[in-house]
Amino acid sequence: MGAQLVVEDVNLHFGGVKVLEEVSFTAEADQILGLVGPNGAGKTSLFNCVSGHYRPSSGSIAIAGTEVLGSPPATLARHGLARTFQHPALQLHATVLENVLLGAHSRLPGGPVEWSLRWPRTVRAEKAVREEAMELLDSHGLAWAASVRADELSHGLHKGVELCRALLMKPRLLLLDEPAAGLPHSEVEQLIETVRSIRERDITIVVVEHNMGLISALTDRVVVLDHGRKLMEGSASEAQADPRVIEAYLGKDAVDDAA
């Protein structure tokens, strides 16, 4: 089916600080790609470039063959990209259902005037996405919380709500930023099953994660970053055995001890 995401020679500079240097990788359609590396490696900065929150200094980012470098998040949503964050970005005083429905904003026909006038096609579209939102909440065990305010839920449930919102966008490319952060082991196991089921919907997934157990269980390939550069690319097991990766995570002494 070809590549869903192609990142080529992406550089990101803030003044004289080089955050990313010549980073390139490809995520094939329906693949789960892991983006890993020690703290400060540039993983989230790269996610911010792909999702339109940062504009790279140079390079190319293409989604399904379309160049999107520098496009804002709203435009990228129309190209099939959705993203979650390490710290879920929810409207805490809104209900769970209202938060999930925000994911359908780019799918509703017309514009603000038509929405305010409640034209028939707008009403029909709103009803349809509300039903989809409830189905998503139900499939993720959150239907009971539809009318509950987000600030009454735990951090783990916030992550589930944000994931439902992202899926309501009907993405072809899903970026997951540390989905297991703050979750107990039992919920990580459930997360692995959830992400596997998402892949079955013909969605390409790129995941940033420190939990190497999750990365090993989920990914087809990993890209390892260190100090803003790509260190290596391969399987999770190859990455864990690579001396360069061990040194990046644990220091040179760890490599010497393993030799």
- DSSP secondary structure of 81-130: EEE--SS----TTSBHHHHHHGGGGGGSSS-HHHHHHT-HHHHHHHHHHH
Share of the chain above pLDDT 90, in %: 65
Residue 102: C-alpha distances to residues 23, 80, 93, 162, 228 (Å): 32, 15, 14, 10, 33
pLDDT at residue 109 is higher than 80: no
**Alpha carbon distance 59, 40 (integer Å):** 21
- CB-based contacts of 106, cutoff 8 Å, min separation 6: 74, 77, 78, 169
Higher-pLDDT residue of 251, 150: 150
Each residue's pLDDT tens digit, 186-198? 888 888 999 999 9
pLDDT at 7: 97
Q: Would you place residue 256 in the very low, low, confident or very high pLDDT band (cuts 50, 70, 90)?
A: very low
Strands 204-208 and 173-177: parallel
What residue spans define the domains of the chain? 1-80+171-259, 90-166
Average pLDDT over residues 115-139: 81
pLDDT computed for residue 1 by the predictor: 57
- What CATH number has the domain spanning 1-80+171-259? 3.40.50.300
Confidence class for position 252, pLDDT limits 50, 70, 90:
low
Q: What is the pTM of this model?
A: 0.89
Neighbours of 190 (CB within 10 A): 14
